[in-house]
Amino acid sequence: MFNDKPTIIWDVDDVLNNLTCIWFKNYWLKSHPECLLKYRDMTINPPYKLLNIELGEYRASLDSFRLSGVYENMLPTEEVIGWFRLYGEEFRHVVLTAPPLCATSIAAEWVLRHFGGWVRSYNFVPSKRDGEKIPLYDQTKKEFLSWLGKGDILVDDNLENIEAAESLGMKTVLIPQPWNDSRQTLPESLESLLFLARGVMRD
């Protein structure tokens, strides 16, 4: 019975939560009051060029935010947690995310605390950091999904990951963010997800 349920694979940051928005508004802007950008101006991700900094400085700021205690206290995206409460049990749910290794345990705890009633598998492809030496298995989500061989629908905010999943024959839902070309609102995206997932179930 449970094996017949379609499997949805979820990204975490900027999908299940609003990481970049919270980091930018509550962390970056507080320490950089001269910055005149708005969140809607984050049309590139990672946005380090928009912020006139190097990639390493951006990653250091984001990692500092992740480790500051603020990440643990973030609330899930309201529309997404509402979707899970209404429809989550109809499907199986897997997480596939790409945090740095130093923050993976924090992200995993956050996911399981808020979504553990539905998510039974947490997976990650570590985002590389300078000087870090860890075994390298899959270096992209596409490589991981190809190895996993499971999953009917990928939900992500990164267009590259969406296209990669589609090349593997998966259905996809792009969560709208300033850096992608989604023309849907978040509620519309979640409605599309429900339609796709129920369609897989009928197939």
Q: At what angle do helices 141-148 and 159-167 cross, to 10 degrees?
A: 30
Tell me the pTM.
0.95
Residue 14 exposed, middle or buried by CB count within 10 Å (0-12, 13-18, 19+) = buried
DSSP helix/strand/coil, 18: coil
In this structure, are 25 and 114 located in the same domain? no
In this structure, are 53 and 104 located in the same domain? no
For the CA atoms of 103, 106, 110, 112, the dihedral, rounded to the nearest 10 degrees, stands at 100
In this structure, are 114 and 153 located in the same domain? yes
Edge-to-edge strand list for the sheet holding 119-124:
119-124, 92-97, 7-10, 153-156, 171-174
In this structure, are 92 and 29 located in the same domain? no
In this structure, are 99 and 13 located in the same domain? yes
Q: How many domains does the chain have?
A: 2
In this structure, are 134 and 52 located in the same domain? no
What is residue 1's predicted lDDT score, i.e. its pLDDT? 47
Q: Could you tell me the two tokens for 197?
A: 């997932």
Q: Could you tell me the two tokens for 200?
A: 């897989």
Would you give per-residue pLDDT tens digits along the chain (203 residues)?
456 899 999 999 999 999 999 999 999 999 999 999 999 999 999 999 999 999 999 999 999 999 999 999 999 999 999 999 999 999 999 999 999 999 999 999 999 999 999 999 999 999 989 888 889 899 999 999 999 998 999 999 999 999 999 999 999 999 999 999 999 999 999 999 999 999 986 55
Strands of the chain, DSSP E: 7-10, 92-97, 119-124, 153-156, 171-174
In this structure, are 79 and 128 located in the same domain? yes
Sign of CA dihedral 119, 112, 98, 36: positive
Strands of 75-127, DSSP E: 92-97, 119-124
- Domain containing 156: what range? 2-18+75-202
What is the end-to-end Cα distance of the chain in Å, rounded? 15
